[in-house]
Chain A
Amino acid sequence: MKFTKTLLATTALTVAAGAATAQDMTVVSWGGAYSKSQLKAYHEPYSAKTGINIINDDSSAEAVAKLRAMNEAGNITWDLVDVEAADAIRLCDEGLAIEIDHDAMLAAAPDGTGASADFGSSIVSSCFIPQIVFSTTVGYRTDMVGAEAPTSICALFDLDKYPGKRSLNKRPLANVEWALLCDGVAKEDIYDVLATPEGQDRALAKLDTIKDQVVWWTAGADTPQLLADGEVVMGSTYNGRLFSAIAEQNQPIGMLWDAQMLDFDGWIVPAGLPEDRQKMVMDYLFFATDTQRLADQAAYISYGPARESSAPLVGNHADLGIAMAPHMPTDPANATNVFVTQYEFWADYRDDIDAKFQAWLAK
């Protein structure tokens, strides 16, 4: 069994190097610039304060499936997971995340407002601890849209005025809402219309008018790349990606805030953690989701803090030194016309509309 020995010996060597620390906490997130912002704003100060070593696991995209599998196998290796609000609801429904008493477990605002009031409507599920507000919105090539830059979301559907390709998410979310809005449905009626089969057909029919001109993206990094290549004149993506392409990469790109789809991203604590680990996680969360910490994160990435009390504390970009507040989706100037994702609706209709959407795509 020579090779077994070699295997054990080699692995033991590598492991010995990293196994010295007393307490580790595995935090799962998305990777890339977003994880970096969390590292700077939350992890580093927390580790400095407590000595707990935080391990970053960039698995959020697989989090839902992996958490379910871990739960069934009875081996939870993650301590804290960063997920989108819709996934938090799903995980909560599946019993894979623990319920949180926000007021009791999280820090109050500096003025004493309880956490749940401070977070407000961003607490979309009892398992969800909001962290940031992000939005899905539209960016465009300033040098390809002609003299008149688009100001309305309906520019997406206006092939006469803005000819050329556009990139859209390969999922129905945001696309169908925009389609109905630009098809003349009043904003407050959209989800009522979308709940009916006729309404769903109507949204797809509107999207059908631009289908030939659409490049469908699956990863958040796609649209900025397509815009930088000049492959598309405009496309939807997350506002932080657009900020990065515009301000950090100096690309000839502009962005719309009209009809941005607001969405939340935050933490869930996996169900079934041992007592001591859960306690450690809650201590971290108390620290990492307080008013100052959430505001700090905005210095590294242009997503808005989920606490109302954090907004005034948002400062400047860590490298570029520009004020970040005007780049937040929640900034009053940007938030004149917003959609807030209807999570209940999507929890019910996601599978149904997605099936129809995919069938329509394949047509």
Chain B
Amino acid sequence: MTDTSAHQPMIDATGVPLKKSLARSLRREKIRALLLVSPLLLFVLLTFIFPIGSMLFRSVENDIVSNVLPRTVVELQNWDAKSGELPDEAVFAAFVADFVVAVEEKNHTRLGSRLNYESSGMSSLFRKSGRKVAEWNPETDGPFKDKLIAADKNWGNVETWAIIQTHSGKFTNGYFLNAVDMQRTPNGIEMQPENKQILIKLFLRTVKMSLIITGMCILLGYPVAWILANLPNRSANMLMILVLLPFWTSLLVRTSAWKVMLQNQGVINDVLVWLGMVADDARLEIINNQFGTIVAMTHILLPFMILPMYSVMQTIPPSYLRAAKSLGATNWTAFWRVYFPQSVPGIGAGSILVFILAIGYYITPEIVGGTDGVFISNRIAYHISSSLNWGLAAALGAILLAVVLVLYWAYDKIVGIDNVKLG
């Protein structure tokens, strides 16, 4: 190389410096990739991520108290709940002023429902007081302290005011605390009383059961996928129908079918009793417990394990196994050292699918789970559709989502998400 060329930048055919030209083509490639991705990305962002995000945001949002009782919240800042004394007249006057407006806008019962999540009785306190306070004139009818306490003696209770004060912030960590069996109290953060602690237990159970179900699916799916991949095409396709049929059958139907199979007077117990393997008065308890949930959910999710495994195993040449054996490997070594490692991506893809689907299930556990087979999603559904405590539901959902994301991340680190193969 000559001296000049060392200082001259390399140029491409059109005379543009190569570095620049490469950078431009890289940029073009990036833009093209983004263009291909962007329709879907926008679609998902707009119709899913954004709505779900705002739903999950409810887990910290708490502006109802300060919106409905703006003056009271300000006045309450000067009051020390631990003093054990009732707030002064200024607070009561502010409260009545707020409350009259709230009743007019029919917001007071809403606030009552919100505070009732924290302390039972607030709902009816607000509802009943609404009727009385509506008649008052905040300008002229004062002083209100005794008047309000006369209307309902609970207003003379320090607790009531402490709860309003504790939950007056625009944002709250209260729902997240509730989601892990803790609560915000005037005295700081405490555990829930023991007889109300359930959610942590349900989280652990959900993860544990989902892992067991994933494990069962691997155990049952692996041989089936293997035989599908190693049989001649004709027989494999016929057997594939047996895998696809349950997959096509509605989840609700399969769950009901398992109920018919597993219950005390069900098919399995009847056959066992008929064969004399089980006494008639000692029929097996295989439904309305964890066992039933695991069996039914394994059945429902098994195709999600078999299909990805099958597609991966199809690509493993059978000659590898024969080669290993001809080199002196035992059956087991040949399988474990040669075949199995190549099938891992399939297991990984199947496992991640099954696990994620299992962790969010709620219809099947609801129907066959009994008391110790229910999942955390059942509680989320309860809080969404019955108790209307959407803040708590959102907090539970956010935690569940975080658990899945952590596992997803771990999976990506261990196996690599590019290795996921589905079909």
Find out whether A and B make contact in their complex, taking CB atoms under 8 A apart as touching: yes
B364 to chain A, nearest CB (A): 12
- Stretch touching chain B among A179-187, A300-308, A325-333, A343-351: A343-351
Select A93's contact among B109, B201, B266, B366, beta carbons within 8 Å.
B109
Residue contact B288 to A215, C-beta cutoff 8 Å = yes
Residues of A within 8 A of B117 (CB): 351
A93 and B110 in contact (CB under 8 A), knowing A215-B288, A231-B265?
A: yes
A90 to chain B, nearest CB (A): 7
Select B113's contact among A93, A165, A231, beta carbons within 8 Å.
A93
Residues of B within 8 A of A215 (CB): 288, 370
Residues of A within 8 A of B390 (CB): 68
Tell me which residues from 173 to 206 in chain A have a Cβ below 8 Å from any Cβ of chain B: 201, 204
Distance between Cα atoms of A360 and B193 in the complex (Å): 12
Residues of A within 8 A of B116 (CB): 347-348, 351
Tell me which residues from 53 to 96 in chain A have a Cβ below 8 Å from any Cβ of chain B: 61-62, 64-65, 68, 90, 92-95
A280 to chain B, nearest CB (A): 23
Closest to A200 in B: B195
B21 to chain A, nearest CB (A): 35
Residue contact B120 to A95, C-beta cutoff 8 Å = no
A17 at interface by CB-CB < 8 Å: no
Closest to A201 in B: B195
A362 at interface by CB-CB < 8 Å: yes
Select B195's contact among A61, A95, A216, A360, beta carbons within 8 Å.
A360
Distance between Cα atoms of A99 and B95 in the complex (Å): 25
Distance between Cα atoms of A65 and B370 in the complex (Å): 25
B316 to chain A, nearest CB (A): 37
Interface magnitude class on chain A? 20 to 34
Residue contact B265 to A229, C-beta cutoff 8 Å = yes
Residue contact B195 to A350, C-beta cutoff 8 Å = no
B107 at interface by CB-CB < 8 Å: yes
Residue contact B385 to A354, C-beta cutoff 8 Å = no
Distance between Cα atoms of A158 and B121 in the complex (Å): 34
B198 at interface by CB-CB < 8 Å: yes
Distance between Cα atoms of A61 and B120 in the complex (Å): 24
A277 at interface by CB-CB < 8 Å: no
What is the number of contacts between chain A and chain B, taking CB atoms within 8 Å?
Answer: 86
Distance between Cα atoms of A355 and B371 in the complex (Å): 14
A172 at interface by CB-CB < 8 Å: no
Residue contact B123 to A93, C-beta cutoff 8 Å = yes
- Highest count of chain B CB atoms <10 Å: which of A68, A93, A204, A356: A93
Tell me which residues from 202 to 252 in chain B have a Cβ below 8 Å from any Cβ of chain A: 202
Residue contact A358 to B127, C-beta cutoff 8 Å = no
Residue contact B113 to A359, C-beta cutoff 8 Å = no
A218 at interface by CB-CB < 8 Å: yes
Residue contact B371 to A65, C-beta cutoff 8 Å = no
Select A344's contact among B124, B263, B372, beta carbons within 8 Å.
B124
Residue contact A359 to B109, C-beta cutoff 8 Å = no
A159 at interface by CB-CB < 8 Å: no
Residues of B within 8 A of A94 (CB): 109-110, 113, 388
Select B379's contact among A204, A349, A356, A358, beta carbons within 8 Å.
A358
B324 to chain A, nearest CB (A): 49
| A interface, CB within 8 angstroms of B | 61-62, 64-65, 68, 90, 92-95, 165, 201, 204, 215-216, 218, 229-231, 344, 347-352, 354-356, 358-362
Sample of 9 further A-B pairs with CB below 8 A, known A348-B123, A351-B389, A352-B120:
A62-B385, A65-B384, A65-B385, A93-B123, A229-B263, A230-B265, A351-B120, A356-B196, A361-B371
User: Could you show 16 A-B contacts with beta carbons less than 8 Å apart?
Assistant: A64-B386, A90-B388, A93-B110, A93-B127, A165-B264, A231-B263, A231-B264, A347-B123, A347-B124, A348-B123, A351-B120, A352-B120, A352-B196, A358-B198, A362-B198, A362-B371
